[in-house]
Structure 1
Amino acid sequence: MEMEQNDQSVTVVITQVVKPGCETAYEAWLKDITSVSRTYLGHLGTNVIRPQLGVRNEYVIIFRFDDYKNLKMWMTSRDREYWLNQGKHLVESDPNVQQICGLEAWFSLPGQPLKTPPRYKIALLTWGAVYVLINILSTFLVPLLRGLPHLIISLIVTIIMVVLLTYVVMPRVSRFFSWWLYPKSRKFSN
């Protein structure tokens, strides 16, 4: 398993509930710890999803690293330990930390801890979305790009496809097919 993780980027999703009244101090702490994480080898980015009234009451912090080894360096670092200790008084409990790899990050239930469905379900839905998108882009976009070199057309199409998959298509597909992806989770949420 570890060998597989070393060959691909790794994402860690951390959820924390901030104590009421500590939001401003938590935001400052969050800025500091994410700044430190950027100094670590292999850091690919950090995203923060803030609480939304009535939807989600926790902060979701997403750290991406280029491989498992570099992620582990950050996760076991003294810097991270120091900053976690500095922020303990701002949160209601220890953070929930989940590690995911590859396409699994596209498949999460909003407002719930990250659970990934079986890989065959991820593969089928990803294939379906890519199939539909590539045909739509080939039909409507590629004719507009005629005259450009083939590699430039491929570059433009793949950039648009990845952006659409990541920000538009897969979040909607995973919500629409949540009954199939997470059958047990839906039973408990009703």
Structure 2
Amino acid sequence: MKNSSPEIVSIVVFNSIKENFQLEYENWQSRIGEKIKEFNGFIGISNKKLEGITNEYFTIFQFDTSYNLSKWQNSDILKEYLNELKQYSISESKVSQHDGLEIFFGKTETATQSTPFYKKVVLGVIAVYPLIIVVGKLYDWLNPWAEKIPFEIGLFFQVIVISALMTYPVMPTLAKILHKWLTN
């Protein structure tokens, strides 16, 4: 049964690519990025090459529910792309799944305990509070009809912008900057 509650489910995939196959892999990333957009509940994809390393990449796939993610994971399209990936990969992909904002808190295989709840709250406040102020003022400044639009509709558009900024770049950047504090 489809989960109707809002959630974000992220899959992080690390790949080590064979020497001289980086362009083929990047093309593969682009093509799978276009195909995944056809699936219900798809939110976004982010492809990154690890800095200073020529053949290490990670990709973050985000879906609105575990159900929709599962539909994609069990699709024939994904199986075809994973089969093709074997040509370019040195080893099997390393995959981790994260629910909600968990992805921003630096969980690793070596971590023995998760970030304390109060630190997650502090990080959220540090990220959300300035965004609410800045996006609200920008909305009022850019939208001369703000007084004529119902509050709920204006707030809805502001929440979309804030959520997008929270997902990337605000939370990943803050988590990176405050990593030592979050993990101590």
TM-score, normalized by the shorter chain, greater than 0.5 = yes
Which residue is 2:102 aligned to? 104
Deviation at 1:68, TM superposition (A): 0.5
**After superposition, where does 1:12-161 map in structure 2 within 5 Å?**
12-53=11-52, 57-108=55-106, 117-135=115-133, 144=141, 148-149=146-147, 151=151, 154-155=155-156, 157-161=158-162
What amino acid is the match of 1:104?
A: E
Structure 2 unmatched runs, 5+: none
Give, in whole Å, the separation in 2 of the partners of 1:75 and 1:124.
34
Deviation at 1:77, TM superposition (A): 2.3
SS in 1 for 2:87: helix
Query: Aligned Cα RMSD in Å?
Result: 3.5
Rate the CA distance shift 1:155–1:85 in 2: closer, same or farther, 3 A: closer
Comparing both structures, which one devotes a greater share of its residues to helix?
A: 1
Deviation at 1:119, TM superposition (A): 4.3
Alpha carbons 1:5, 1:68 under 8 Å: kept: no
Which residue is 2:173 aligned to? 172
After TM superposition, the score normalised by the length of structure 2 is 0.73
Give, in whole Å, the separation in 1 of the partners of 2:34 and 2:10.
17
**Residues 37-75 of structure 1: CA deviation (Å, up to 9, x unaligned):** 223222222221124325x85211111112101111211
Which residue is 1:11 aligned to? 10
Give, in whole Å, the separation in 2 of the partners of 1:78 and 1:147.
48
Alpha carbons 2:19, 2:55 under 8 Å: kept: no
> Which segment drifts farther, 148-157 or 65-74?
148-157
What amino acid is the match of 2:81?
A: W
SS in 1 for 2:81: helix
SS in 1 for 2:45: strand
- Number of residue pairs matched by the alignment: 177
After TM superposition, the score normalised by the length of structure 1 is 0.71
What amino acid is the match of 1:172?
A: T
Deviation at 1:132, TM superposition (A): 4.1
Rate the CA distance shift 1:128–1:82 in 2: closer, same or farther, 3 A: same
